[in-house]
Amino acid sequence: MELPCDMIEEILCCSRVKDLLRYRCVSREWCSVIDSTAFAKKHLKKTMECNADGVVIFQGEENFYLADLECLAGKDDVAAIKLNDPLMADAFIFGAANGLVCLEMDEMNEFLFFNPSTRQVRKIPTFPAEFPCFNSMDSSWGFGYDHVNDDFKVVKIGQCLVGHMVFVYSMKTNSWTQIKDVPILFSIDAWGVFASGALHWEAIKDAVNSTSIILMFDLETEQFREAPFPSVDRTSVKYYSQRLFSVGGSLCILDNCLSHTDVYLMNSYGAENFWHKSFSVERSGTLGYFRYLRPIAFSKSGSVVILEVDDEKLVWYDIENKVVRKNGIPNMFLTQPYTESLLQLNEDKHIQKPRLASKREEPGKEKVISFGSWSLTTGCQGQVI
């Protein structure tokens, strides 16, 4: 008895990407379904509804690794896959959105779209030389996804003698365009944060009072807006700084004080209360002293959060009980939450693709890699708290 095609597709849609890539070998029909754009989008939508960021990309000094958040929550070995590729040794991850990652190559303003799940790569065309600010040394960048127009976009904000100029690259049109309506700015952060369909930078409009704002760029309308920072009484604060991040698809702000760090999450655009305080972490508490931290993901219950501390280690932090559990991950790394996808890229054949294993390694079986007492294995035990 054969199952209807629609039922088979629904079953496949609930599978992990790494399993689907193996299922392509079952039959031509399965391969055709799994490789289709419609199925890739349907699968990605279902994945994001269940878990916005199910995978973490670790970036070490020379290598990249993929690990499941479920494995990081477990008490046993952490499963991770090493991306063996000389190309990525010179790359820097500056953003991830809707199943794709954007890489900057060796700080040369050369960018690539990369799907870590399928190992496909696509080079972004060089910024047109005829555009103003082509050789601008002071540039800010951002990468995100326009869900209305189904388009991935890269934004460049260049500082010139005449002020700031903005340019947008569209994957759908494979071209750069200049944005005319640009706000007057004194300074802006180097890297934008993608959340809720927009890119966000901390910026200063007036050099006299140095008041910081959140500059938002809507990727659908390609227009700028402003948002306030959380209203906090800082008259008695001795040390203070702010950082923007994205966690679970929402904009996040860290208010760093001498004694603690407050974490705020954005409610929604246009809401009367733009921000709500999610939790605080004391520097004298169970986590110990830290310079700064970054929320990576919340557990399904929302009671536990995985934190990146000082770009060196990951810990699970119980918000209510203020209990810390370390993961045993090696130090000295950067992390990027990522959603696995089957999205296809029209690859640049001149770029060497990342590979998962050497020809001598059996397909579907990843090599065990060790860093001291930390083991990268194919086994994954434990569930998200």
pLDDT in tens, 99-116: 999 988 865 668 889 998
pLDDT at residue 347 greater than cutoff 80 = no
Euclidean distance between CA atoms 320 and 32, whole angstroms? 48
What does the block give as tokens for 208?
Answer: 């006299």
Contact status, residue 57 vs residue 99, Cβ threshold 8 Å = no
For residue 124, CA distances in Å to 132, 170, 226, 242, 348 come to 19, 9, 29, 31, 10
Euclidean distance between CA atoms 139 and 295, whole angstroms? 26
Rounded to the nearest 5°, which phi and psi values hold at 378?
-90, -10
Rama region for 330: left / alpha / beta (φ>0; ψ in -120 to 50; rest): beta
For the chain, the residue count is 385
Sign of CA dihedral 376, 382, 383, 385: negative
- DSSP-derived letter for residue 191 is B
Q: Which residue has the tokens 């754009």?
A: 37
Mean pLDDT value of segment 283-309:
83
Rounded to the nearest 5°, which phi and psi values hold at 134?
-60, -40
What does the block give as tokens for 131?
Answer: 């555009």
pLDDT score recorded for residue 343: 92
Euclidean distance between CA atoms 34 and 334, whole angstroms? 32
Contact status, residue 355 vs residue 85, Cβ threshold 8 Å = yes
pTM over 0.85, yes/no: no
β-strand partners of 306:
297, 316
Mean pLDDT value of segment 261-285:
83
Contact status, residue 331 vs residue 312, Cβ threshold 8 Å = yes
pLDDT score recorded for residue 222: 95
- DSSP-derived letter for residue 43 is H
**Most distant pair of Cα atoms in the chain: their distance:** 76
Contact status, residue 179 vs residue 153, Cβ threshold 8 Å = no
Q: Decide the pairing of beta strands 374-377 and 78-83.
A: parallel
Other CB atoms within 10 Å distance of the CB of residue 70: 17
pLDDT at residue 212 greater than cutoff 50 = yes
pLDDT score recorded for residue 302: 81
Euclidean distance between CA atoms 70 and 31, whole angstroms? 28
DSSP H stretches of helix in the chain: 5-13, 17-23, 28-35, 37-50, 69-73
Mean pLDDT value of segment 296-317:
83
pLDDT score recorded for residue 132: 66
Mean pLDDT value of segment 316-324:
87
Other CB atoms within 10 Å distance of the CB of residue 77: 18
DSSP 3-state of 87: helix
Mean pLDDT value across the chain: 77
pLDDT score recorded for residue 60: 66
Rounded to the nearest 5°, which phi and psi values hold at 72?
-65, -25
Contact status, residue 366 vs residue 22, Cβ threshold 8 Å = no
